[in-house]
Amino acid sequence: MSAPSHLTARPGRPLTGVVAAPGDKSISHRALILGAMATGITEIEGLLEGDDVLATARAVEAFGAGVERLGPGRWRVTGHGGFRTPDGVIDCGNAGTGVRLLMGAAAGYAIPVTFDGDASLRKRPMKRVTGPLAEMGARFEWAREEDRLPLTLTGGGLAGLEFVQTVASAQVKSAILLAGLNAAGRTVVVEPEKSRDHTERMLAAFGAHVQVNDESAGWRVTLEGGQALTGTDVAVPGDPSSAAFPLAAGLIVPGAEVTVRNVMLNPLRTGLFETWLEMGADLTVSNRRAAGGEEVGDLTARYSELTGVVVPPARAASMIDEYPILAATAAFARGGTVMRGIGEMRVKESDRIALMAAGLQACGVRVEEEPEGFVVTGGRVPGGATVTTHGDHRIAMSHLILGLAAEQAVLVDEPGMIATSFPTFVEMMRGLGAEIG
């Protein structure tokens, strides 16, 4: 069945219920890639079956791994200790994380690979990854435009390097580390602020030794080349980025109480939750436990009177994907919510600063857009607008959540891309009582 051309969210009754967070997208990508690089069988439980992750599953199969779907969220990857030359182009669809991590992994093998993606992914910059990989010895040819897909990578013969990031990026760090597994010598990545550490944790689970040190210059991650990976079992925890949407609805819809189970609580991913608490959110955590090497818990959000805050720019690395939904909740807060130091948002699936500002303004919210951020002044949210999403899933979902608490319905165009990260979003929200259709 084809995706709808638009979706509309209408204000209605209070939202209530308990739902489970979909599997974390970042960990799902990494489980498939590391399983394919390893020798032996990797059993994955809770894999996110969104379009982005499925594109990565097809990619690692093209690289020679055995990939089987055993049931909902249950997958088996059989790795043969390396990548082979694929028969055709590796099409990563809309998956920025997928393509950048796959380039890092493939760079370690003496094979040629052509990477491509959809129209959105073709607009996203790639040199942040290809630059350091080229320093390690990988070769790149650009088919259309330098810094953009499609490109052809020829790997092998890599040497380790010390790479100092000016802006913390888990994608860049992860690509370098994956390449470093098959590079001669030592690979080091230094970050000004610590970005999400799923790759370091998962490399350890697959048998690699990774050293992480907190130094005055930032976080220093060190990996010796020539390490082999062994297949293992991976339990994927719930994605905090996806859990943010039903939780946000719980905070802004009068009378609402929403619980999301199995949410990952890695401190490098909980910046949004910390910000909401600073805004006065009634957000509680229960049943803390371990799953897949990560702390998880059940989060409950109840309708709250929020107050605007200044979000520390240093927090951006822990919540860069959550600023759109933070902006939507800030529309209902008293006073201004200041979000700066987030220029990275302009080179995501879309220019998320510009699109969130335009969408909120169309809904009657006061927004001051800046080069590296924006300020949202909350209060009354009239709604009643049609929002242009440019096919960006987070822009679409954020405005749909806003529409559930606005005075009038909010319509978003091009909602089909929601399936890239959260294929059950509409079904889940309807189960809580949301009027989305």
- Give the residue numbers annotated as catalytic, written as ranges: 321
What is each CA distance from 195 to 141, 271, 272, 353, in whole angstroms? 29, 11, 14, 21
Contact between 203 and 34 under an 8 Å Cβ cutoff? The reply is yes
Sign of CA dihedral 95, 98, 101, 104: negative
Contact between 109 and 60 under an 8 Å Cβ cutoff? The reply is no
Residue 14, SS3 per DSSP = coil
242's CB contacts (< 8 A; 6+ apart) are 21, 22, 25, 421, 422, 425
Q: Which residue has the tokens 């099409």?
A: 91
Closest C-alpha among 208, 185, 169 to residue 34: 208
Q: Over the Cα atoms of the chain, what is R_g?
A: 21
Conformational region of residue 305, where left means phi above 0, alpha means psi within -120 to 50, and beta covers everything else: beta
CB contact burial 50-81 (16+ within 10 A = b; e otherwise): bbbbbbbbbbbbbbbbebeeeeebebebbbee
**DSSP character at residue 259:** E
3-state helix, strand, coil in the chain (%, to 5): 35, 30, 35
Cis peptide before 22 (omega within 30 of 0): no
Other beta carbons within 10 angstroms of residue 368's beta carbon come to 12
Closest C-alpha among 21, 13, 87 to residue 259: 21
Integer Cα distance of 355 and 391 in angstroms: 11
Contact between 3 and 419 under an 8 Å Cβ cutoff? The reply is yes
Integer Cα distance of 240 and 245 in angstroms: 9
Closest C-alpha among 123, 10, 47 to residue 390: 123
